[in-house]
Copies of this chain bind each other. A is one copy, B any other.
Amino acid sequence: MNAGETLESYLGGAWVRGQGVETELVNPSNGDVLTSASAKGLDLQSALAHARDKGGRALRALSYAERAKLLGAVADVLAANRARYEETAIANSGNTKIDAAIDIDGGIGTLKYYARLAAPLGEARALIDEKPVRLAKAENFQAIHMLVPRHGVAVHINAFNFPSWGLWEKAACTLLAGMPMLAKPASATCLLSQQMVRDVIAAKVLPEGALSLLCGGIGDLLDHVIADDVIAFTGSSATANRIVANPNVLARGARVNVEADSINAALLAPGVAAATPAFDAFIKEVAREMTVKAGQKCTAIRRVFVPAQQANAVTDALAARLAKTTVGDPRDEKTRMGPLVNRAQQAAALAGIARLAREAQFVTGSPQAPRLDGIDGEKSAFVAPTLLKAGDGAGSALHDTEVFGPCATLIPYQNEAEAFALVARGGGSLVASVYGEDRDFLARAVTELGALHGRVLAVEPSIADAHTGHGIVMPQCHHGGPGRAGNGAELGGLYGLRFYHQRVAVQGSTELLGTLQATAAALK
């Protein structure tokens, strides 16, 4: 890696370099500059046109099964280079090996999942949704609902915390749907995305134009999207709102999918005694969610709701677990949690912690960066595992403030109704998890909390060791939440392909509809 050269972007079928330096990519454990990114001066309008004209045509000419094979080939290229990616994730993202695996293997696994899932769609080039419906007395006039690939380009604007998974989870559904993509990873960690795309392009496993990559600022990209295009965004609400309200995006009606801030909840059911299996599963999951990837997951647990009677027991158990989390440089084998991704994120997280601390008391952590042996506090981006406990009369900051780091707030509740009402104050989240033995309570929680969540994980003792976790996004399941989480819908098996297709009602003769059905695949 030459820190003196700006990372190239892959646009219009060539590797191109922006002018100057927009962002320096650093090692957040020690402040070393790894490389830099800039997209200044790059012709983004032509890049979009190239993707649409070249990539779109090539992909739409393939069947779903052929596109599924492309995903498998991409996954193989990535798997072959995994060791190099892990090094980059540790250096540029401050990841531990476990953190890096979630990002890297999560991306590869999602590609492989979709390759398997879509293979049975066979030679089809469109999908059929639901059965034909009668519209009039005449039996030979009916309607079907088809999903046809959109003719534009999918613009992916990804978050810094998943330079691999964020890239490939969107790529899987996009390419499978027959749309080309232009990915713009967050500059802070785009090195890993760039290495991966470079390997995939070099391996020539995708048709030219199917995959473009923009390393650097977004520039005037959104001024050039058209009605055929879609935008899939993951990141902060503030940025999401700027995208949604962009005048050209509004004027063209480009479709936008948003995954944004989320103050996710974990809820211990009423009546669960300390040191029971449900209690232990709850403690284990909350501590894990707080510390994995140093809490930098959009799905991480931020609010921890416990029956008031159990507040002390939960506090003690969590504090004991967090005390065992060794924080440090992830290259050190003893390290269990690394730094945040950079000092700007560290500053934002510490400011958020200070805001929470107006309404809550520290159990662990503080509003300052921790002092760590052998770490330069002026150059690194560490935040200690920070657990707060809400005081009486806590206000709205606990429900409104997303600290994007290893921090959660414990909030006692008096009864079931209050618990559900408090969770709802998050204003819509990606995921809530509930822990208990009473299955009737769990069922009520699913229905009540489901109205404001994209996913609910219900943990009872029988699955305490089997479940896939509060924060892990499984490609089989809907990913996205209502309200402040942005109303997005990603993944969820073949459902995730919908965003990249146009759903169209086709009204015609039964003979014509039969012809169309014969060359399309049923969606389920």
Whether B130 lies near A512 (C-beta < 8 A) is: no
Within 8 Å by CB of A453, from B504, B508, B524, lies: B504
B504 x A456 contact (CB < 8 A): yes
Distance in angstroms between the alpha carbons of A133 and B491 in the assembled complex: 13
Determine how close the nearest CB of chain B comes to the CB of A105; give it in whole angstroms: 15
Using known A-B contacts A135-B476, A512-B458, determine if residue A253 contacts B428 with beta carbons closer than 8 Å: yes
Give which listed residue, B228, B254, B467, contacts A141 with CB less than 8 A.
B467
Top 9 A-B pairs, shortest CB-CB distance: A227-B483, A138-B466, A458-B508, A477-B505, A450-B504, A245-B245, A253-B483, A227-B428, A478-B505
Contact of A504 among B150, B252, B455 (CB under 8 A): B455
For the A-B complex with A143-B474, A228-B451, A467-B507 known, give 19 more contacts whose Cβ atoms are closer than 8 Å.
A130-B524, A131-B524, A133-B477, A136-B468, A140-B462, A145-B492, A228-B483, A237-B250, A244-B245, A253-B427, A253-B482, A443-B516, A452-B502, A455-B507, A457-B507, A458-B512, A462-B509, A468-B507, A479-B505
Question: Is A495 positioned at the interface, with any CB of B under 8 Å from its CB?
Answer: yes
Separation in Å of the A123 CB from the closest CB of chain B?
A: 14
When C-beta atoms are compared, the residue in chain B nearest to A133 turns out to be B476
A255 touches B (CB below 8 Å): yes
A97 within 8 A of B: no
CA–CA, A367 to B140, complex, Å?
42
> Using Cβ atoms and an 8 Å threshold, which residues of chain B touch A352?
none
How close is A245's CB to chain B, nearest CB, in angstroms? 4
| A486 with B253, Cβ < 8 A, contacts A476-B135, A507-B477, A512-B460 known | yes
> Is A2 on the interface with B (CB-CB < 8 A)?
no
In the complex, what residues of B have CB within 8 A of residue A148's CB? 447, 450-451
A442 within 8 A of B: yes
> When the two chains form their complex, are residues B451 and A482 in contact, meaning their CB atoms are under 8 A apart?
no
Residue of B nearest to A261 (CB): B253
Interface size class of A (residues with CB under 8 A): 35 or more
Which residues of A pack against B, CB within 8 Å?
Answer: 125-126, 130-131, 133-138, 140-141, 143, 145-146, 148-151, 226-228, 237, 241, 244-245, 250-255, 260, 424, 427-428, 439, 442-443, 446-447, 450-460, 462-463, 466-468, 474, 476-479, 482-487, 489, 492-493, 495, 502-509, 511-512, 515-516, 519, 524
Chain B residues with Cβ under 8 A from A453's Cβ?
502, 504
Contacts of A146 in B (CB 8 A): 446, 450
A151 to B423 alpha-carbon distance, docked (Å): 13
- Quote the shortest CB–CB distance from A412 to chain B (angstroms): 24
Residue of B whose beta carbon sits closest to that of A493: B133
In contact, A427 and B252 (Cβ under 8 angstroms): yes
Q: Are B143 and A476 in contact (CB under 8 A)?
A: yes
Chosen A-B contacts, 11 in total, with CB atoms closer than 8 Å, are: A126-B450, A136-B468, A253-B260, A253-B485, A443-B512, A446-B516, A450-B504, A451-B502, A455-B504, A455-B506, A458-B512
Give the chain B neighbours of A252 by CB distance below 8 A: 427, 483-484
**Quick check: B508 and A463 within 8 Å, CB to CB?**
yes
Residues of B contacting A446 in the complex (Cβ-Cβ under 8 angstroms):
146, 504, 506, 508, 512, 516
Closest B residue to A425 by beta carbon equals: B227
Contacts of A141 in B (CB 8 A): 463, 466-468
Question: Which residues on the B side are within 8 Å of A253 (C-beta)?
Answer: 237, 260, 427-428, 482-487
**A435 shortest CB reach to chain B, Å:** 11
Known interface pairs A149-B451, A244-B245. Does A255 touch B482 (Cβ–Cβ under 8 Å)?
Answer: yes
The minimal Cβ–Cβ distance linking A434 to chain B, given in whole angstroms, is 9
What are the residues of chain B within 8 A of A479 when measuring CB–CB?
Answer: 505
Pairwise interchain contact A244-B250, C-beta atoms closer than 8 A: yes
Contact residues in B for A504 (Cβ distance below 8 Å): 446, 450, 453-456, 478
A508-B460 contact given A427-B253, A493-B133, A502-B452, CB 8 Å threshold: yes
Q: For the complex, what is the distance from the CA of A476 to the CA of B507, rounded to whole Å?
A: 11
Q: Across the interface, which residues of B come within 8 angstroms of A493, CB to CB? A: 130, 133
Contact B466–A507 (Cβ < 8 Å): no
Give the docked Cα–Cα distance between A452 and B489 (Å): 21
Give A509 to B468 CA distance when docked, in angstroms.
Answer: 12
Across-interface contacts of A503 in B (CB, < 8 A): 454, 478, 489
Chain B nearest CB from A298 CB (Å) reads 14
B residues less than 8 Å from A489 (CB atoms): 503
Cα of A351 to Cα of B136 in the assembled complex, Å:
38
Contacts of A505 in B (CB 8 A): 454-456, 477-479, 492
CB distance from A397 to the nearest CB of B (A): 16
State whether A511 touches B439 (Cβ < 8 A): yes
Distance of A447 Cα from B508 Cα, bound (Å): 13
> Given B140, B250, B468, B482, which contacts A466 in the complex, CB threshold below 8 Å?
B140
- Report yes or no: A457 in contact with B227, Cβ–Cβ below 8 A: no
Min C-beta distance of A461 to chain B, whole Å: 9
Write out the residue numbers on chain B whose beta carbons fall within 8 Å of the beta carbon of A463: 138, 140-141, 508-509
